A and B are shown apart, each in its own frame.
Chain A
């Protein structure tokens, strides 16, 4: 069976794929499908419980929680892709170089990975954010800069197992240079595992961003993100449960979606890994 047949038969992977597609659609169509303006303050309807007009209720300024969540989906999508893209780029290059050249280059890069892994990631992110202004771009870059270590290890392992194969020797014998061998010949063989790591990485980045925004160090209000809507939930925890419940469910479902998709890609691309 080829990749697509395997993937198509995996119901869980398809569910994950469906959730991710839905997230894309909601983000793209946010201006059309959001029932209210996410920033529209309505002081006559403060902390209204869920009803026919406001399905998920309103927050402390009378803003519609559902509309804010729909716009918040854009932030999650953006953070997930940009932060993970950066992490993959760094991890891919360092892992490829370490695995391909070996020796002292490998030793230096892997010691650097070990050192980075000593830091509680959340501490490192918070410390850097303390020195910079919390903005969505800073958040994305910092999450990316602190989450490339796993990819590096993965790509390095792939390169070590591939670099002595016959097709690499063949490429070398016809005079291909190192860059060509790394990017044209070896890297495509490692793409499947990178894709899996990227999908799972997006899930992790979304969780990190929501925690940062929840603590008030991430995406700043009035821009809605799932994390900072939950901050309002905490402030009104004893009177308005709906602000706490729904955005968290959105995070949970999104992360489950990416995780299912990632595991589906892994099972389909390498059936040997399937239990």
Chain B
């Protein structure tokens, strides 16, 4: 197992380098870069801003020198200073907002698994039943719904029409005066809609995948064997079939991470949640380039780490992977 782990981590290094190279080239689109055409067209880029960009990225040096010194800087965890009026280090601004974004993404992963797996299994076991057909329609619509629109509709219905759920922020105004239990409830209420919206996109994909997987597994010889030796249907499905159908789903979850993180921009902006996605949106609007670059890099690294965790847990669960 440790050999597999080491191999897998070594494999990450070229990807990590590639990510920094792409970030570096995106960054060179910035005003002040040799492609100066953009600057003249962009009234928002002040002379001072251009000067700071120039000194920050050492634009007078050859490109590989620029890249190397930038790489050394981010290697030390130095992502530069924000262009916004607070002038704080970018890493500090991201760090304080990262936990809430990760929390919401983890909660939605849990919900995706808890809802999509049973749906997929049940519709495969009862293929062509009414349940299967109804979920197929829902899954199809799920692929096509713009999540930000669904968020608006849920805000109108649950937030404004029924008044059950708060529609913005993480805490009520009277949060300070509540006891611990009430504070927890308050936070939970604020999280329901954002977590649901964040999970929604992944639900359709995973349940459809689980269904296809389960259908394939049920037709295997070892399931026939399990039935032949007289196991109950329950044991056949939930012990023998489910385990094997569940394994490849780990990879799918790993693949869904970039979508989840990317989606955080949308739901954090709509629900005014002070996470990394909202910071990203505000930085894009304010053209706070160092922060934009920092979050782009962190987003890619989070994806990489998420994929590593998915691959490793796949290897833990399936010995065939770590031996070959």
Contact = CB atoms under 8 A, between A and B. Distances in A.
A and B associate in one complex? yes
Interface of A: 111-112, 114-124, 126-133, 203, 207, 210-211, 214-217, 230, 233-234, 237-238, 241, 244-245, 247-248, 251-252, 255-256, 259, 275
B104 interface: no
Interface string B233-265: 000000000000000000000000011011101
Interface of B: 14-15, 18-19, 22, 26, 29-31, 38, 41-42, 140-141, 143-150, 152-153, 155-156, 160, 167, 212, 215, 258-259, 261-263, 265-266, 269-270, 280-281, 283-285, 287, 289, 292-293, 295-296, 299-300, 303-304, 307
B148 A203 contact: no
Given A127-B284, A130-B283, A237-B156, A251 B149 contact: yes
Task: Classify the secondary structure of B's interface with A.
Answer: helix
A123 to B, nearest CB: 5
List the 6 shortest-distance A-B pairs measured between CB atoms, nearest first. A248-B149, A122-B262, A120-B262, A115-B18, A255-B144, A131-B29
- Residue with the highest number of chain B CB atoms closer than 10 Å, among A122, A133, A237: A122
Contacts of A211: 146-148, 266
Given A130-B292, A132-B29, A133-B42, A244 B262 contact: no
B144 to A, nearest CB: 4
A14 to B, nearest CB: 16
Contacts of B215: 275
Contacts of A126: 265, 280-281, 284, 292
Nearest to B211: A275
A275 B289 CA distance: 49
Contacts of B26: 124, 127-128, 131
Contact of A117 (B258, B266, B289): B258
Contacts of B261: 120, 123
21 contacts: A115-B19, A118-B19, A118-B300, A119-B299, A122-B262, A123-B261, A123-B296, A124-B296, A128-B26, A128-B29, A132-B38, A133-B42, A203-B144, A215-B269, A230-B149, A244-B149, A244-B156, A248-B149, A251-B146, A252-B141, A256-B144
